[in-house]
């Protein structure tokens, strides 16, 4: 294999996301030499008929700028990349009943008539009265990936997407991943009222008031769903339900669609690395945020992303 043989670039922010991505490869390839200017570490392999480059952001260095640098160096080393995927975890933005997003679900960034699918919520200007106005816009994913998404959505209307089946197959193949990526009981998926903050000083929600939980039918959802809509991206972690809901209302109105999740890398990529953004929901972007669902959400996101290059049939 040579550098120009690789046509799909897959970017992750965390090692847990990269491990899940590697688990999707049909075959793995030996490493290729890197230029001295390229600081990335790559995982090379094949999905379907496509040769894929997987890269993870430097440990502890996240956000839009870090993602842009990683993508730039990857494109320089692998000049034939045509399809871009940004895959990993994100904070869900539930709004019942229309947006019944739950932990382990997947959100795929989809353009609207006025927006490319990803909104950078922290880029703008502050006027004299302190009012923040968002400026600029981001490109849409390549048409070939949007076509693949349409084909997948059509397929899933007729047949279940089988995310759980594919995640289980990955876990069985890589036994060392079983403890962290395996199925999580939906009873541990807790959504609290936006006005109720996490019990101070507690690492878990065992001391939180369960009477402040939002009532949702647990038995009605025994498999993750794939949602399609707008993704909000910026350089700050959203960990407050009031802020989450305020931004949801504002950005949904501006973007002409529903804001379904928050993440921290895509805004640095869309204009120079046209890509499809896929996020597994690991928390609700509130004060109850923890890491319990991160591996599981990374796995469901990777499983969803795995189908994109298989369906695009790009050569």
Instruction: Single out the residue of 304, 1, 7 nearest to residue 156, CA to CA.
Output: 304
Asked if 48 contacts 306 with a C-beta cutoff of 8 angstroms, the reply is: no
Peptide bond into 97 cis (omega under 30): yes
What confidence score (pLDDT) does residue 9 get?
A: 97
Tell me the C-alpha distance between 287 and 271, whole Å: 32
Q: How far is CA 300 from CA 135, 189, 217, 312, in A?
A: 33, 15, 21, 20
Domain with residue 38: its CATH number is 3.40.50.1580
Sign, Cα dihedral of 214, 289, 235, 72: negative
Domain count, the chain: 1
- Rounded to the nearest angstrom, the gap between the alpha carbon of residue 37 and the centroid of all alpha carbons in its chain is 28
Range of 281's domain? 3-312
Tell me the C-alpha distance between 2 and 254, whole Å: 44
- Rounded to the nearest angstrom, the gap between the alpha carbon of residue 33 and the centroid of all alpha carbons in its chain is 29
φ/ψ of residue 262, rounded to 5: -115, 145
Tokens of 286: 């509130």
Tell me the C-alpha distance between 27 and 309, whole Å: 15
What confidence score (pLDDT) does residue 315 get?
A: 41
Tell me the C-alpha distance between 195 and 90, whole Å: 21
Q: Which residues contact 285 (CB under 8 A, 6 or more apart)?
A: 91, 92, 93, 238, 239, 240, 241, 244, 261, 262
Full pLDDT tens readout for the chain, 315 residues = 999 999 999 999 999 999 999 999 999 999 999 888 999 999 999 999 999 999 999 998 999 999 999 999 999 999 999 999 999 999 999 998 888 999 999 999 999 988 899 999 988 888 777 777 787 789 999 999 999 899 888 887 777 777 777 777 777 776 667 667 766 777 789 999 999 999 999 988 999 999 999 998 866 567 889 999 999 999 999 999 999 999 999 998 888 889 999 999 999 999 999 899 999 999 999 999 999 899 999 999 999 998 777 777 544
Give the E-state strand segments of 15-97 in sequence order: 27-29, 42-47, 50-56, 83-92
Tell me the C-alpha distance between 165 and 253, whole Å: 37
Tell me the C-alpha distance between 277 and 211, whole Å: 35
């Amino acid at each position: 294999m040579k550098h120009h043989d690789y046509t799909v670039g897959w970017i992750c922010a965390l090692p847990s996301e990269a491990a899940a991505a590697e688990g999707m490869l049909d075959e793995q390839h030996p490493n290729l030499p890197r230029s001295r200017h390229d600081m990335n570490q790559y995982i090379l392999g094949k999905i379907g008929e496509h040769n894929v480059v997987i890269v993870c952001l430097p440990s502890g260095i996240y956000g839009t700028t870090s993602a842009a640098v990683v993508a730039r160096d990857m494109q320089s080393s692998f000049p034939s990349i045509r399809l871009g995927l940004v895959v990993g975890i994100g904070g869900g933005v539930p709004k019942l009943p229309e947006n019944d997003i739950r932990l382990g679900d997947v959100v795929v960034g989809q353009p609207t008539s006025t927006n490319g699918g990803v909104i950078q919520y922290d880029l703008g200007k502050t006027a004299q009265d302190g009012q923040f106005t968002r400026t600029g816009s981001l490109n849409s994913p390549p048409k070939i990936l949007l076509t693949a998404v349409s084909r997948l959505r059509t397929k899933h209307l007729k047949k279940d997407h089988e995310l759980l089946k594919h995640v289980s197959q990955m876990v069985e193949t890589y036994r060392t991943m079983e403890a962290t990526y395996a199925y999580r009981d939906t009873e541990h998926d807790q959504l609290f009222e936006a006005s109720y903050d996490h019990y101070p000083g507690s690492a878990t929600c065992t001391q939180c008031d369960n009477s402040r939980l939002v009532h949702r039918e647990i038995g009605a959802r025994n498999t993750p769903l794939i949602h399609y809509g707008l993704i909000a991206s910026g350089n700050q972690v959203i960990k407050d339900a009031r802020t989450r809901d305020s931004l949801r209302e504002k950005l949904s109105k501006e973007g002409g669609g529903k804001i379904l999740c928050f993440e921290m890398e895509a805004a640095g990529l869309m204009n120079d690395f046209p890509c499809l953004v896929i996020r597994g929901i690991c928390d609700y972007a509130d004060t109850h945020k923890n890491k319990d669902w991160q591996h599981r959400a990374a796995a469901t996101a990777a499983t969803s992303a795995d189908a994109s290059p298989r369906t695009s049939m790009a050569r």
